[in-house]
Structure 1
Amino acid sequence: MTKFNFTRRAVMGFIAAAGIAAPAAAEVDFTGKTIEWVIPFSETGGSAKWANFFGPLLSEALPGKPTVVVKFMPGAGSTKGANWFQEQEHEDGTLLFGTSGSTQFPYLLGDPRVRYEYNDWNPVMASGTGGVAYLNAEDGAKFDGSANALKDTDFIYGSQGATRLDLVPLLAWQMLGMNVEPVFGIKGRGDGRLMFERGEANIDYQTSSGYLGGSTALVNDGKAIPMMTWGALDADGNIVRDPTFPDIATFKEVCQATDGCETSGDAWDAWKAFFVAGFPVQKLAFLPAGTPQDVIDTYTKAFQDVVARADFAEISSKRVGKYPVFTGEGAQGALGTATQVPDSAKAYVTDWLQNAYGVSLK
């Protein structure tokens, strides 16, 4: 059994666990209260769209129907907000925090700016996502399912940082032999899309919610051409087409069609390891350290009630995509998958970051 197959089976197990009924919650009442859901990114990105989708549904499901307000704390690729949340403690159950792969990856790589510990927090919901890379109209006209005709083009990409979730597209483009120059320092993927819209970048990638919420309009207007998704995992750990974007080829397919790109070996294994850590369980919602079990159970039941809504599959597919949502034991198990990668993958990516971008994490 490979590590990747084990990881996929673990994820599938979490999907099953997500359906386990939560313990009966004690009498927790949020009547008249306001829940602050803090997102450590800008208000234009996929995490914002994710929280803004779930927020009103959570409000309806929590006892007392409190107001759920999404607040943003961008900075340092989300480590600023995560470091802040690490210092918070339970008061009255009205603080929720959301993370994404761009928060997980610095933690996995030992980024010196990380002063947070995932194991101190209480996960109450986790969800998977996908990602779509796309080109401007001029360069997209050259794309034939391979990157062969794109290798002489100089691309500009708005990036949150090479140690964030952006390492998945950056490594993929390098494996394809493309010359993509990242402009580091943007506060969220939505800011990268705005760079693309203004013509300051000619290649971009968005997680599924960001792509559905902002980039599809660019595609429909002929201003952007989809290049590839990162794909999804089947039951055997194989990369397959993303169920939200079944008509768009995966990176694996584009790699196989591109001269010099290999879907085996150290680079592929490292890319796949970080894809697994960053996308099948990509966004998580946490309560702070010290939260009593009755409050945790109340949130768990609320999120389970959200997922059990008769219209959830339909409305979620349009806003955040067709991906599993984990609650209760499933959320706790999903956290383990999201915060673990093989040492060999870490070593490869650490060396790549140093060689490609001069980023030292040793």
Structure 2
Amino acid sequence: MLKKTLGALALTSALVATQAAADGHQIDLTGKTVEWIIPFSETGGSAKWANFYAPLLSEALPGNPTVVVTFNPGAGSTKGANAFQEMTYEDGTTIFGSSGSTQFPYLLSDPRVRYEYSDWNVVLASGTGGVAYLPADLAGQLGEGGDATPLAGEDFIYGSQGATRLDLVPLLAWEMLGLQVEPVFGIEGRGDGRLMFERGEANIDYQTSSSYLSGVTPLVEAGTAVPWFSFGALDGDGNIVRDPTFPDMPTFKEVCEATDGCETSGEQWDAWKAFFVAGFPAQKMVFLPAGAPDNAIATFTEAFAAIQERDDFAEISEARLGVYPQLTGDAARTAMASATDVPQEAKDFVINWLSERYGVVLQ
């Protein structure tokens, strides 16, 4: 299965990168500035992920260049991704950070997509999770095991980047649970959705793990937000199990099983799981642009591998990112392949659902 394959590859990727460095196949970035482009606003999980890695990457790259995170939001990340597609490799001073919200429009053949993942060169693939949460008054109505049945008559508002973005995973999940959720489309990042929740403009939300840990945990401690479920993680056989970052939190699968009318088998479930798998186990990736030479790819691969070999990495990454795979080399390429391909049946279901539910027609 995918997770077993990635685990085996992860053991060798750092060794391959280190050997490349030992053979002298590195680029020198002394005195340079590396621009890390994020196609979202500075309030979301991608910003927190990149800002966590940026100073560590500066230390790990040869020449210790300054690594600056910049933001190019718009059209649910397709604006920034399209701009990166037009770039070609120059000197290793431009990298790009994608997210599941960049992958999904690509998977669904969104007409705004003018980028091609196979043109890019992946040097890091980061897994993550997601957590759905509610205001305290609504969370208090949940049944045993997170049963959503008592909430079937409530009207929910959700701040969304768009139905073809990573948001389709929670939107479809909530529909499967029988909830009446009206999305407000057009926010530039998930952090903006959290701000809507904080201001009382939305009464249901989800955040990827890094944003939840930094942005929602204070709300939980203040009693204004209550975690409901995580989307879960995959075991070695591809089954959904509890997220290792949130082991005390039920998964969406568990909540679905506890809720009247929600099924964990069949066409709808298969589509949800396929897009969950595409969107979260390799949810964020770092790329060099088209035309990057092998020595540049090896340099960045070795740097990200060296970061993970730091004695303090497990401690500092758990607090900021959660407990998820951080993959380089062949493992990152395998993860990217999985994240940018889903079964045609799942695509067809989601395309039909988007048209019927939100009037989104993809041609």
SS in 2 for 1:24: helix
Counterpart check, 1:21 vs 2:22: no
- Indicate if the aligned counterparts of 1:127 and 1:325 stay in contact, CA closer than 8 A: yes
Alignment of 1:69-218 (within 5 A): 69-144=68-143, 145-218=146-219
Deviations 1:217-262 (A, max 9, x none): 1011000011110000011111100000111110000000000000
- Indicate if the aligned counterparts of 2:10 and 2:330 stay in contact, CA closer than 8 A: no
Residue 233 of structure 1 is matched in structure 2 by: 234
Q: 2: CA distance between counterparts of 1:176 and 1:168? A: 12
1:233 alignment partner AA:
L
Q: 2: CA distance between counterparts of 1:11 and 1:300? A: 16
Offset at residue 11 of structure 1 (A): 3.9
Q: 2: CA distance between counterparts of 1:282 and 1:42? A: 17
Offset at residue 15 of structure 1 (A): 3.5
Deviations 1:166-185 (A, max 9, x none): 00000000000000100000
Name the CA shift for 1:360/1:7 in 2 (closer, same or farther; >3 Å): farther
TM-score normalised over the length of structure 1: 0.97
1:343 alignment partner AA:
Q
Q: 1: CA distance between counterparts of 2:28 and 2:266? A: 54
Deviations 1:30-77 (A, max 9, x none): 111111000000000000000000101000000111110000000000
CA RMSD across the alignment:
1.1
Residue 270 of structure 1 is matched in structure 2 by: 271
- Indicate if the aligned counterparts of 1:126 and 1:327 stay in contact, CA closer than 8 A: yes
Residue 50 of structure 2 is matched in structure 1 by: 51
- Indicate if the aligned counterparts of 1:11 and 1:337 stay in contact, CA closer than 8 A: no
Q: 1: CA distance between counterparts of 2:131 and 2:227? A: 7
- Indicate if the aligned counterparts of 2:127 and 2:326 stay in contact, CA closer than 8 A: yes
Q: 1: CA distance between counterparts of 2:49 and 2:354? A: 29
Residue 253 of structure 1 is matched in structure 2 by: 254
Alignment of 1:282-293 (within 5 A): 282-293=283-294
Q: 1: CA distance between counterparts of 2:66 and 2:360? A: 42
Residue 3 of structure 1 is matched in structure 2 by: none
Name the CA shift for 1:169/1:127 in 2 (closer, same or farther; >3 Å): same
1:227 alignment partner AA:
W
Name the CA shift for 1:10/1:110 in 2 (closer, same or farther; >3 Å): farther
Q: 1: CA distance between counterparts of 2:185 and 2:349? A: 21
Q: 1: CA distance between counterparts of 2:257 and 2:95? A: 42
Q: 1: CA distance between counterparts of 2:172 and 2:288? A: 33
- Indicate if the aligned counterparts of 1:231 and 1:251 stay in contact, CA closer than 8 A: yes
SS in 2 for 1:90: coil
Q: 2: CA distance between counterparts of 1:21 and 1:138? A: 53
Name the CA shift for 1:299/1:165 in 2 (closer, same or farther; >3 Å): same
Name the CA shift for 1:27/1:122 in 2 (closer, same or farther; >3 Å): closer
Offset at residue 28 of structure 1 (A): 1.9
Q: 1: CA distance between counterparts of 2:349 and 2:86? A: 32
Offset at residue 20 of structure 1 (A): 3.9
SS in 1 for 2:249: coil
The runs of 5 or more residues in structure 1 that have no matched partner are: 1-5
Offset at residue 138 of structure 1 (A): 1.4
Q: 1: CA distance between counterparts of 2:107 and 2:311? A: 37
Offset at residue 137 of structure 1 (A): 1.5
Deviations 1:188-235 (A, max 9, x none): 000000000000000000000010110111011000011110000011
Offset at residue 12 of structure 1 (A): 3.8
Greater mean deviation of Cα atoms: 133-142 or 18-27: 18-27
- Indicate if the aligned counterparts of 1:38 and 1:72 stay in contact, CA closer than 8 A: yes
Name the CA shift for 1:322/1:187 in 2 (closer, same or farther; >3 Å): same
Q: 2: CA distance between counterparts of 1:302 and 1:31? A: 14
Q: 2: CA distance between counterparts of 1:111 and 1:12? A: 32
SS in 1 for 2:20: coil
Percent identity reads 68
SS in 1 for 2:181: strand
SS in 2 for 1:21: helix
Counterpart check, 1:243 vs 2:239: no
Q: Number of residue pairs matched? A: 357
Offset at residue 9 of structure 1 (A): 4.1
SS in 2 for 1:294: helix
Counterpart check, 1:358 vs 2:359: yes
Offset at residue 159 of structure 1 (A): 0.2
Alignment of 1:24-43 (within 5 A): 24-25=20-21, 26-43=25-42
Q: 2: CA distance between counterparts of 1:320 and 1:147? A: 28
Q: 1: CA distance between counterparts of 2:222 and 2:326? A: 32
